[in-house]
Amino acid sequence: MEKGEEAASNVQELIQILNETNLGWIAEEIREDISDERLLKKGNDYYSSSYSSQQQLEIAVGTIRRYTIDLFEIWSSLSEPLRHLKTELPIERIEVIDENGKYLDFFGEDLSSKMKKLNELLDALAPNGVIPSIRVEELVDEE
């Protein structure tokens, strides 16, 4: 399997996994982002182009990372300030139970190790995972 075919296959597999795990809204965001065209500039001319399969994989990984690893890092940085506020909140803590009936501690080591493993897996897929942004890519003539 060629690199481009493998990247396209990985994107489809990631989207399928997200849909199967009730994260279809993330899958939909990925589908929308990778179907958008990017704006390119060469000299004074502008034109649009589709993302390559590898770029689509990088967008998919970047989107997943934003909703998992990045969000976990935000939660982690807020853990101490939130603990100080707990007496002022109407709810002392929100309990989330996993599929095995185990309490999921958003600030605990277990989740931390899972996020580390997920980050390693995402890096293995596309170490340059990116979030698409509206920008113009400058093309340079190859000599």
Question: What is the model's pLDDT at position 91?
Answer: 46
Let me know if residue 98 belongs to a domain: yes
Into how many domains does the chain fold?
A: 1
**Token pair recorded at residue 134:** 């509206």
Question: What is the model's pLDDT at position 29?
Answer: 92
Q: Residue 135 carries which side chain, given as an amino acid letter?
A: R
Let me know if residue 54 belongs to a domain: yes
Pick from 102, 104, 101, 115: which is nearest to 93 by CA?
104
Let me know if residue 36 belongs to a domain: yes
Question: What is the model's pLDDT at position 23?
Answer: 86
Question: What is the model's pLDDT at position 31?
Answer: 93
Let me know if residue 43 belongs to a domain: yes
Provide DSSP, the chain.
--HHHHHHHHHHHHHHHHHHTT-HHHHHHHHHHHHSPEEEEETTEEEEEPPPHHHHHHHHHHHHHIIIIIHHHHHHHHHHHHHHHTTTSSSS----B-TTS-B--TTSHHHHHHHHHHHHHHHHH-TT-----S-EEEP----
Question: What is the model's pLDDT at position 42?
Answer: 81
Separation between Cα atoms, residue 82 and residue 85, nearest integer Å: 5
Let me know if residue 142 belongs to a domain: no
Let me know if residue 137 belongs to a domain: no
Q: For the CA atoms of the chain, what is the radius of gyration?
A: 19
Let me know if residue 46 belongs to a domain: yes
Give pLDDT < 70 ranges for the chain: 1, 80, 82-99, 102-112, 128-143
Which range of residues forms the domain containing residue 55?
3-126
Let me know if residue 116 belongs to a domain: yes
